[in-house]
Amino acid sequence: MNKKIQYTEETDLRGVPCPANAARIILKLESMDEGKILKTLIDEGEAYENLLSSLDEDGYELITSAKKVGGWEVFIKA
Amino acid sequence: MIYLDNASTTLPDSSLINFSRRLYSRVFGNASSSHRVGRDASKEIEKAREIIAGSLNAHADEIYFTSGGTESNNIAIWGRFLASKKINPNIIISSVEHPSVYNVAQFLKRMGVEVRILPVDSGCSVIVDELTKLISSDTILVSVMQVNNETGIIQPIRKIGSICREREVPFHSDACQGFTKEPFDVKKDLVDIASISSHKIHGLKGTAALYLKRGVKLANPFQGGGQELGLRPGTPDPIGIAAFAFASTIYKPEDYKKVQNLRDYFMNNLIKYPAISLNGSASNRISNNINIRIKGLTAADAARELSRRGVMVSTGSACSSSKSEPSRVLISMGLSEKAALESLRITLSVHTEKKEIDLVSDHIFDIMKKLL
């Protein structure tokens, strides 16, 4: 399903500690045109949970996410 | 927004912002320059040195400005190591030191220094009697913090200082958490080296100091232009330093009585719930700290939900990657991993109001109802 999502930007933030990982994603989203899609990879566990919370607090739409080996693949609308 | 993470950092005081703003328009020189602009910068730094020295009951020439508590702690430990002529040196630190002490010690261990760990009891107080067993003629430094950054427990530094003086071993204390909040007098407390920081006391980030008693030897871990007598070379920030001195005069331990009353009210309100327990002893704790465990609720979940509601608190764990690591401090007090991961640190400031505390209590109880 994720293969069909057309994204314009991509980041890999696995290994980046909280909250810098979420902060970088938010900064990336702020730099993108509204409606464009960001694909990001982030560590599982607290990093992923904190990202969901940050997106919610900052009003960004999570399109979909899927658990992958070594983390989560997340698609977010800017 | 209700900010209750004041052990992490504090909001710069409005009077300090005004003070700094006035300086920005006239002080920009390099304090090493011999012209008037340089002298103006140097004057601000020397004035600040006098003020900071006064706040510790030290001499001005015993104060060295640095960029942070971490740098001060590093200079203290590396400086003693580099100055030591012992063949088999050892250093003694408590098990609950800040990473800027603990991790430096672990690094030195890889370089052949024996690291002796002073344990704490279940209340987070250092077991002083153990020090007499650990200290030896090869001990180059004892480092025990004045106040623990996670639990807020005030350590028996005067007793430790007394043992160190008797054995003629320099005693370093990381006083970043307690400075201006708890009485701290380097002479009475028998401290030879101390670290203090500006942003913990409503000052600016990027400025701190190291107190080094006259006659105690540290080798310079950095090489450079010789500023701060070589201990911390590099162009100093006259405004940050002046602001640090200014911040040290705004609030005194007496001002934290009000904070303590509010903290006690808050703490008693929380711990009446059976699922909530206090980590560390209830007494002997810095005036602004509460460290609680909410049984069955991870601190990460609680902190995240509080953040959504506009309340900022801290977890003791570090979200480094996929797995939360429990706090080393809480584990060394005897808490289980699970209990440590369920522990939250809430730290008040002089600006915290009762209505905020009441609202946060309500939020915590509501979160417990929903998530437990």
Give the per-residue pLDDT at A18: 87
Q: Chain A partners of B317 at a C-beta cutoff of 8 Å?
A: 46
CA distance B70 to B121: 25
Tell me what the mean pLDDT of segment B23-45 comes to.
92
Residue of B8, B306, B308, B321 best to disrupt the A interface, most CBs of A under 10 A: B321
Model confidence at B34, in pLDDT bands (50, 70, 90)?
confident
Q: CB distance B301–A49 less than 8 Å?
A: yes
Q: Does B26 touch chain A (CB under 8 A)?
A: no
**Listed residue (B140, B174, B132) closest to B155, CA to CA:** B174
Q: Across the strands, what pairs with A67?
A: A72
Q: CB distance B307–A53 less than 8 Å?
A: yes
Q: What is the pLDDT of residues B332-359, one digit of tens each?
A: 999 999 999 999 999 999 999 999 999 9
Residue B148, pLDDT above cutoff 60: yes
ipTM above 0.85, yes or no: no
Q: CB distance B321–A56 less than 8 Å?
A: no
Model confidence at B324, in pLDDT bands (50, 70, 90)?
confident
Give the per-residue pLDDT at B317: 62
Instruction: Give CA separation, B66 vs B197, B211, B284, in Å.
Output: 9, 10, 29
Give the per-residue pLDDT at B322: 54
Instruction: Give CA separation, B8 vs A5, B204, B216, B347, in Å.
Output: 40, 13, 30, 9
Average pLDDT of chain A to the nearest whole number:
92
Q: Chain B partners of A56 at a C-beta cutoff of 8 Å?
A: 308
- The chain A residue lying nearest B298, using CA atoms, is A46
- Nearest CA distance, A20 vs chain B (angstrom): 10
Q: Chain B partners of A43 at a C-beta cutoff of 8 Å?
A: 321-322
Q: What is the 3-state secondary structure (H, E, C) of chain B?
A: CEECECCCCCCCCHHHHHHHHHHHCCCCCCCCCCCHHHHHHHHHHHHHHHHHHHHHCCCHHHEEEECCHHHHHHHHHHHHHHHCCCCCCEEEEECCCCHHHHHHHHHHHHCCCEEEEECECCCCCECHHHHHHHCCCCEEEEECCCECCCCCEECCHHHHHHHHHHHCCCEEEECCCCCCCCCCCCCCCCCCEEEEECHHHCCCCCCEEEEECCCCCCCCCCCCCCHHHHCCCCCCCHHHHHHHHHHHHHCCHHHHHHHHHHHHHHHHHHHCCCCEEECCCCCCECCCEEEEEECCCCHHHHHHHHHHCCEECEECCEECCCCEECCHHHHHCCCCHHHHHCEEEEECCCCCCHHHHHHHHHHHHHHHHHHC
> Which residues lie below 8 Å from residue A41, measured CB to CB, with a gap of 6+?
A11, A12, A13, A14, A68, A71, A72, A73, A74
**Listed residue (B84, B316, B22) closest to B219, CA to CA:** B84
Give the per-residue pLDDT at B318: 60
Model confidence at A69, in pLDDT bands (50, 70, 90)?
confident
- Nearest CA distance, B259 vs chain A (angstrom): 29
Q: What is the pLDDT of residues B236-287, one digit of tens each?
A: 999 999 999 999 999 999 999 999 999 999 999 999 999 999 999 999 999 9
Known catalytic residue at A18:
yes
Give the per-residue pLDDT at A67: 96
- A→B interface, C-beta within 8 Å: 14-15, 17-18, 43-47, 49-50, 53, 56-57, 71
Q: CB distance A43–B318 less than 8 Å?
A: no
Per the CB < 8 A criterion, the answer to whether B85 and B59 are in contact is no
CA distance B140 to B78: 11
Q: CB distance B322–A49 less than 8 Å?
A: no
Of B24-28, B51-55, B68-72, B108-112, the least confident:
B24-28
Tell me what the mean pLDDT of segment B205-229 comes to.
95
Tell me what the mean pLDDT of segment B14-42 comes to.
93
Q: Give me the residue from A43, A44, A49 closest to B304, CB to CB.
A: A49
Residue of A2, A7, A18, A32 marked catalytic: A18
Q: CB distance A18–B322 less than 8 Å?
A: no
CA distance B99 to B70: 8
Of A45-59, B57-71, B84-98, the least confident:
A45-59
